[in-house]
Structures are given as structure tokens and as C-alpha cells.
Amino acid sequence: MIKDYHPENEYFMVDYRDMTDIRWVRCPFCTPQQVSDIVAECVMNPNCRDLRVTPESILDRPYRSWDEQNQEYVSEDFTLRTYWFGDRYQSIADGIQRKRQK
């Protein structure tokens, strides 16, 4: 996890399945170097599956759902992060980003 958040830098959420312990591993706000390290470890580990790297800036976007009646996408009042990972990770992101704004 991140020590010092700098909003001008790009950060990533890394997640994958660990088949050794049968769990999802989620690492929010990784630096590019941390992403590189995690990917290198996963590539060498046959028990690492479904590796995904997503920019935090993408996860900050509102989730958009299809409105069948109006035939258009509409923004919801929650983020893509919440949709994919749940409120827990949105709370973590809010805390990290708010801490830097003070």
C-alpha cells in the first residue's frame, strides 16, 4: 500500500487470484515500480491467476449503466471501483485522497 500519495502521479489497482491460499489479492494505489514487482512475481508463480492492473484514475470514474427505456448510458452515484471491488476499497481510496488534500 502507498506511503505518500501524490495526486500528480499515476497509481494502479493490482488484483489477482492466489490459488495457493484460494483468495483474491488486491493491492490499491500501487506505483509503477510496485506494479512491475507484483507482475514479475505473478509471472513466475503458476498459482497466480487472472492478474489485472487498472489505473486508479479509471476506478475513480462513475459507473455507467445502460438505461433500456431511454437507450443510453447513465452515470450512477458510485464509482467503477465500488462496482468492481466494493465499498471497502472506495473507503480506502477516499481516505488516501482526502489525507493528501488536508
- pLDDT string in tens for the chain (102-residue length): 577 888 899 999 999 999 999 999 999 999 999 999 999 999 999 999 999 999 999 999 999 999 999 999 999 999 999 999 999 999 989 998 875 554
Q: What range does the domain containing 60 cover?
A: 12-101
Q: How many C-beta neighbours within 10 Å does residue 19 have?
A: 13
Q: Is position 1 within any domain? A: no
Number of domains in the chain: 1
Contact between 61 and 53 under an 8 Å Cβ cutoff? The reply is no
3-state class (DSSP) for residue 100:
helix
Total-model pTM: 0.84
Q: Is position 37 within any domain? A: yes
Q: Which residues contact 97 (CB under 8 A, 6 or more apart)?
A: 5, 7
Q: Is position 7 within any domain? A: no
Query: Could you tell me the three cell numbers for 21?
Result: 491460499
